[in-house]
Structure 1
Amino acid sequence: MSRLVVVSNRVGAAKSSRPASEGGLAVALRAALQERGGVWFGWSGKVLASDYETPSMAEVGNITYATIDLNQRDYDDYYKGFANSTLWPLFHYRLDLAEFSRKTWAGYQRVNAHFAHRLQPLLRDTDTIWVHDYHFTLLAENLRSAGCKQKLGFFLHIPWPALPILAALPMHSEIVKALCAFDLLGFQTDEDLWCFQDYIRREAGGEVGKNGIIKAFGRVLRAKTFPIGVDTEVFAKMATESEGSKQVERLQKSLNNRDLIIGVDRLDYSKGLINRVEAFEHLLTTYPDNRGNVVFLQITPPSRGDVSDYVDIRHELEATAGRVNGTFAEYDWGPIRYLNKSFSRRVLAGFHRVSKVGLVTPFRDGMNLVAKEFVAAQSSEDPGVLVLSRFAGAARELDGALIVNPYDTEGVAERLQEALTMPLKARQDRWQSMYQAVAVNDVTTWRENFLQALKRGGRAR
């Protein structure tokens, strides 16, 4: 069995134990590395004033954790700039927020080349290399130019945009051409794959054949759909075990038998957070019986606080939540609890389990694992209801959710009312269908399906 080399923007902690805060993706990648042996390579998270140094290495069992630092210039141009101020908003259909700069594009090219240069000495001829996400779309092309012939796979965790959106990016052709240096491209949903294939046909003048075969830019590769899952069994167990925990008991006591609607999202403009709060406001306005009887808990850990758009969204969200509370709150009841902080996965699992409704309404999301974790956390005897945006990749699998358009605040409010009043049998039937989906297509299945497809395919040529 060949070694596995994982490349991601951030690297899992170099320890064999599994902290409760570690996500299912990190656990799945670590398990694959433990099974095959190999290297986990990426950014250390450190920004230095000086130039690059050699990678920091840590050996734990048969895994080598290798990280490199960024200098301030490359952090600003590559990470803060092109990756998160150009690709992220554009791939999430926010052209109004995307910044187009040749300076940050040069930084993105420079850092991808540098990562390839630092990774190459760590590679063996028989390695299988799995690259993750939009930070490293150029990595395979750089490695191929350096003579690397290993099998190279790429998985995009965020959406792939439609052709008219992607075409607004001045360097779209260079990025797609570089992606075609991989042997296998993985996307979250069929829609993402179709958008990529549409670009290949109409913009690149390439061919899309059977079994995902792509011919473009003088290369042959495969592109397929691999919807990512969660560690369903583990998360369900955490939810069950946390029912009697101190944090969950405190939450339940504070609710005083009120129904709980929960939202858990990173602070990001793609998550539809302000519209979500406005939909809850409309629920209280249109269905006044919910006043004093329902609490909306929105947990939103801070994110990219040095990017101006994220500072703006935080201020607007805080103001909107404050306005709703100022309008509806009573001396013994506050409608919205907005928490701008992080919790461990174990605590979140318990919070999900005691919630009547999971509210997941992104404007655009590659998959959205919170939706799947909410399903995994529920009790089969008295499950909550998932209200889910049609623009989340998870909506393609979770047919038991109440699907909504997050831009339609009145429609979301109506579905919230339906969820809060849904009979037990209907809730159980919907949950059973969704739980079966997240149990069968868990994160381990996703990982093995991708790696098996990469193993079966030939090298891009």
Structure 2
Amino acid sequence: MSRLIIVSNRVAPISEGGPAAGGLAVGVYDALKETGGMWFGWSGEVLSSGQPQIQLEERGPVTFATIGLLRRDYDQYYRGFSNATLWPAFHYRADLVQYDRNEYAGYCRVNAWLAQQLVPLLRDDDVIWVHDYHLIPFAEALRAAGVKNRIGFFLHIPFPASQVLLAVPPHRELVQALCSFDLLGFQTKPDVRAFCDYIVNEAGGTVEKRADGLTQIEAFGKTLCANDYPIGVYPDEVAELAKAGERDKPVRTLKATLHGRKVIMSVDRLDYSKGLVERFRAFERLLEHTPSQRNKVSFVQIAPPTRADLHAYQDIRLRLEAESGRINGRFAELDWTPIWYIHRQYERAVLAALFRASHVGYVTPLRDGMNLVAKEYVSAQDPENPGVLVLSRFAGAAQELGGALIVNPLDIDGMADALGKALSMPLAERLARYNDMMVQLRENNVSVWRDRFMRDLTSMAAQVGVSLPASVEPAQP
């Protein structure tokens, strides 16, 4: 029987109910464990010497195929071009882009090497689904190795407007590499438009809308398709996690410590794209302009560490520590701490229960591909007494969650006003907004995301006579 092969930079050590992982890890694993197949990528191990070897582990229907990276490869491919060049550029932070030609060469070299490691594990009818910005040249490398399988690509982060992408010196080579995939998936329609704009105006290619809804692209001598596929969650599963997590000590401690105060809850990786400093200042503005909220509400920011060996991330941690200390020093009382800034990781069930216990979900990234925290916050709510989501218009989730209070994360006063409105919103309005968003979340869960992508890849293959495995065929409505 044929298989679905997932390829991502990191094969996350996911366990049921274990530490919370990022959107890619949760979405990919939830999709793969239903269909079965293989997940291939970096193990997270960095080796000082030697020749990395692939490790295979069977876990239910999923085979995990992982391999370590040598220190030089990690520094150039991961720390360097992926996260010091592509990440800031794709999040519209051209001012933070650091480019080194040797790091780009290392990025391409590691992609080619990883592709060579995967080739012996492939079968002729495998379907390959590659994920995210670390692996843009991966299909090009597979094609160079003679692989003829269908290959799809999904970008979990935003795709930037052409004028922003031009800040990356090898922008043309990157887009040309993307054109070696058969199907490109983006989180939102604006991301698809940004890619197509580059194809037409910078690459001299053509773009045409097909009858099946896909966008057909011809560029660099290749023909491929693109579409938006907003990633989702399993809302009912998140709700069950929230109820289970209520018994855990961190949740019980929070409730006991608050003494009936309301809670504004945020959970983000520690990253400059998340708008954390602006978020802190908007909460400060709320307390400044609305004295009646003082000693009545606390803001809990959970920000697990990420990429701690990059200077930009060290800087944002120091800034947040300074901001939380300054704001607490200004407003705190002997029996009340306005901001709880927690720099650690919690299990998924605990986070879901914390979402359920809070009155406001505060999700205001400066730019985000989707942001599954927003969707998980809504999913975790008590259906009879839900909280309110305050959501950045620059998160992909804002395209779907119309029941949220949509804000501009650069408008500090506007965010403070939204927090005030959320804290005082009557139950009837909260219920209406919650129910509207839950309909959307159930209609577009992780399975729908996977099935839409695989259906389109299947449809494309059928047109050229390629047989795809029944195991990845979506169920008929």
Q: Aligned partners of 1:32, 1:244: CA distance in 2, in Å?
A: 28
Q: Which residue of 1 aligns with 2:8?
A: 8
The offset of 1:29, in angstroms, is 3.5
Asked if the contact 1:157–1:366 (Cα under 8 Å) also holds between the matched residues in 2, the reply is yes
TM-score (structure 2 length as normaliser) = 0.93
Does residue 1:213 correspond to 2:216, yes or no? yes
Q: How does 1:338-353 map to 2 (within 5 A)?
A: 338-353=341-356
SS at match of 1:458: helix
Between the aligned partners of 1:90 and 1:451, the Cα distance in structure 2 is 29
8 Å contact kept, 1:151–1:459: no
**Equivalent runs, 1:102-251 vs 2, <5 Å:** 102-210=101-209, 211-251=214-254
- 1:416 lines up with 2:419 in the alignment: yes
Can you list the C-alpha shifts for 1:43-86, whole angstroms capped at 9, x where unaligned?
Answer: 01011111432211223344321111111111111100000000
| Equivalent in 397, 417, 423 of residue 394 of structure 1 | 397
> Does residue 44 of structure 1 match 2:47?
no
Supply the distance in 2 between the matched residues of 1:34 and 1:262 (Cα, whole angstroms).
Answer: 30
The answer to whether residue 308 in structure 2 is matched with residue 305 in structure 1 is yes
- Aligned residue in 2 for 1:101: 100
Partner of 1:96, secondary structure, is helix
Once the two structures are TM-superposed, the CA of residue 32 in structure 1 deviates from its matched residue by 4.6
Cα pair distance change 1:41/1:375, threshold 3 Å: same
Q: Would the alpha carbon gap of residues 316 and 22 (structure 1) be closer, same or farther in structure 2, given more than 3 Å must change? A: closer
User: Residue 405 of structure 1 corresponds to which residue in structure 2?
Assistant: 408
SS in 2 for 1:99: coil
**What corresponds to 2:471 in structure 1?**
none
Task: Name the residue aligned to 2:469.
Answer: none
Structure 1 residue 22: Cα displacement: 5.4
Amino acid paired to 2:366:
F
2:19 corresponds to which residue? 21
Matches within 5 A, 1:430-441: 430-441=433-444
Give the CA deviation at 1:25. Answer: 5.3
Shift of 1:38: 2.5
Shift of 1:381: 1.1
| Cα distance in 2, alignment partners of residues 89 and 25 from structure 1 | 18
AA matched with 1:126? D
Structure 1 residues 410-442: Cα deviation after superposition (integer angstroms, max 9, x where no partner): 110011101111111111111111111112111
Code of the aligned partner of 1:208: V
Please state how far the C-alpha of 1:241 moved relative to its aligned partner.
2.8
Letter of the 2:93 counterpart: R
Which of residues 313, 317, 333 is equivalent to 1:330?
333
* Residue 429 of structure 1 pairs with residue 432 of structure 2: yes
Instruction: Return the alpha-carbon distance in structure 1 between the equivalents of residues 36 and 412 of structure 2.
Output: 49
Identity %: 54
Of residues 381, 384, 387 in structure 2, which corresponds to 1:384?
A: 387
Query: How much does 1:13 deviate?
Result: 3.5
When the two chains are superposed, the root-mean-square deviation of aligned CA atoms in Å is: 1.7
User: In structure 1, what is the equivalent of residue 468 of structure 2?
Assistant: none
1:443 paired with 2:429, answer no
The farther-off stretch of 244-253 and 435-444 is: 244-253
> Which is worse superposed, 232-241 or 320-329?
232-241
Q: Answer yes or no: is the 8 Å Cα contact 1:2–1:36 preserved in 2.
A: no
- Residue type of the alignment partner of 1:81: G
Distance 1:31 1:358, change over 3 A: closer
Distance 2:233 2:386 in 1: 18
- Asked whether the equivalents of residues 360 and 386 of structure 1 are also in contact (C-alpha less than 8 Å), the reply is yes
Question: Which digits, 9 at most, give the CA deviation of each residue in 1:104-158, with x for residues without a partner?
Answer: 1011011001001111111111000000000000000010011100000000000
8 Å CA contact 2:363–2:374 kept in 1: the answer is yes
Normalised TM-score (structure 1): 0.96
Deviates more, 1:57-66 or 1:172-181: 57-66
Kindly indicate whether the alpha-carbon contact (under 8 Å) linking 1:352 and 1:358 is maintained by their aligned counterparts in 2. Answer: yes
Distance 2:309 2:30 in 1: 33
Residue 154 and residue 261 in structure 1: after superposition, are their counterparts in 2 closer, same or farther (change >3 A)? Answer: same
What amino acid maps onto 2:4 in structure 1?
L
Q: Give the partner amino acid of 2:166.
A: A
In the aligned structure 1, how far is the partner of 2:136 from the partner of 2:463? 15
Distance in 1 (alpha carbons) for counterparts of 2:201 and 2:50? 42
Q: CA deviation at 1:459?
A: 9.1
1:84 corresponds to? 83
Displacement after TM superposition at 1:460 (Å): 11
Of 254, 257, 262 in structure 2, the residue corresponding to residue 254 of structure 1 is 257
CA distance in 2, matches of 1:445, 1:149: 27
For 1:41 and 1:427, locate their aligned partners in 2 and report how far apart those are by CA, in whole Å.
43
Task: Note the C-alpha offset of 1:457.
Answer: 1.1
- Give the direction of change, closer, same or farther, for the CA distance of 1:161–1:445 in structure 2 (3 Å limit): same
Q: Which residue of 2 aligns with 1:55?
A: 54
1:80 and 1:123, CA in 2 relative to 1: closer, same or farther beyond 3 A? Answer: same
CA–CA distance in 1 between the matches of 2:164 and 2:343?
Answer: 32
Q: 1:255 to 1:119 in 2, by over 3 A?
A: same
How far apart in 1 are the matches of 2:246 and 2:456?
A: 39
Query: Could you tell me whether the CA contact under 8 Å between 1:400 and 1:430 is conserved in 2?
Result: yes
- What SS class does the counterpart of residue 436 from structure 1 fall into? helix
Matched residue, 1:278 = 281
> Aligned-pair distance for 1:231?
1.9
Distance (whole Å) between structure 1 residues aligned to residue 37 and residue 80 of structure 2: 31
Contact 1:367 1:392 in 2 (8 A): yes
* Contact 1:261–1:294, Cα closer than 8 Å, also in 2: yes
List structure 1 segments (4+ residues) > 6 angstroms apart after TM superposition.
Answer: none
CA offsets per residue over residues 203-233 of structure 1, 9 Å max, x none? 1111111231111111111100000001211
For 2:244 and 2:326, how far apart are their aligned partners in 1? 37
